[in-house]
C-alpha cells in the first residue's frame, strides 16, 4: 500500500507530527506524546489530543476532493493518554452530502485500546480559502 506525506497546519508541524494519507483516503500518524502536550501531570492535554484528531479529519476531508472547514467537532475521551505513549491517530470521511463532509477519527493507545474518538462536520468552502493550500502531499511509497 502506498502512502503520501501530508503537510498540514503550522500547529501540527510545530508538534512534530507527520501524517500520511493512505490509498483508501484514511489519514494516519503515529506520534509519541511529549511534555509539550502534557495537561494534567503525566497525561496528555485533551486539547492537544483534539487538535490531532481535528487535523487528521480535516486532511481526510481535503483529500476527498473538498476544501472543507470545520463547523462542528465532537470528542469522547475514553481513557487518559500518558506522556511518553506512542499513539496511533487515524481519520476518514464517512460520507458527503452536498457541501457537507462527515468525518470520524480515533486515537489508539499502544495496547490497541481507544483513548479518544472524534467526529467532525466540515463544509466545502473554497471561496474562503482562496489559493492557499491547506494540505499538500509529498510521495512516500513505503
Q: Do 75 and 116 contact (CB within 8 A), yes or no?
A: yes
Q: Which three cell numbers stand for residue 87?
A: 499513539
* Triad 70, 76, 79: Cα angle to 5°: 135
Annotated catalytic residue 111 = no
How far is it, in rounded angstroms, from Cα 3 to Cα 26?
10
DSSP per-residue codes, 49-109:
HHHHHHHHHHHHHHHTT--EEEEEEEEEE-S--BTT-EEEEEEEEEEEETTEEEEEEEEE-
- Choose, from 23, 30, 54, 76, the residue flagged as catalytic: 54
> Which positions are catalytic?
54
Amino acid at each position: 500500500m502506498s502512502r503520501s506525506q501530508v503537510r498540514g497546519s503550522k500547529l501540527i508541524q510545530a508538534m512534530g507530527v507527520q501524517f500520511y494519507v493512505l490509498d483508501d483516503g484514511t489519514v494516519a500518524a503515529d506520534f509519541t506524546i511529549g511534555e509539550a502536550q502534557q495537561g494534567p501531570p503525566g497525561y496528555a492535554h485533551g486539547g492537544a489530543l483534539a487538535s490531532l484528531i481535528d487535523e487528521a479529519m480535516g486532511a481526510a476531508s481535503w483529500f476527498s476532493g473538498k476544501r472543507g472547514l470545520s463547523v462542528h467537532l465532537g470528542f469522547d475521551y475514553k481513557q487518559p493518554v500518558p506522556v511518553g505513549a506512542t499513539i496511533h491517530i487515524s481519520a476518514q470521511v464517512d460520507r458527503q452530502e452536498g457541501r457537507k463532509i462527515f468525518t470520524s477519527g480515533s486515537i489508539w493507545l499502544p495496547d490497541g485500546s481507544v483513548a479518544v474518538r472524534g467526529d467532525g462536520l466540515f463544509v466545502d468552502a473554497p471561496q474562503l480559502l482562496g489559493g492557499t493550500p491547506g494540505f499538500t502531499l509529498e510521495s512516500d511509497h513505503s
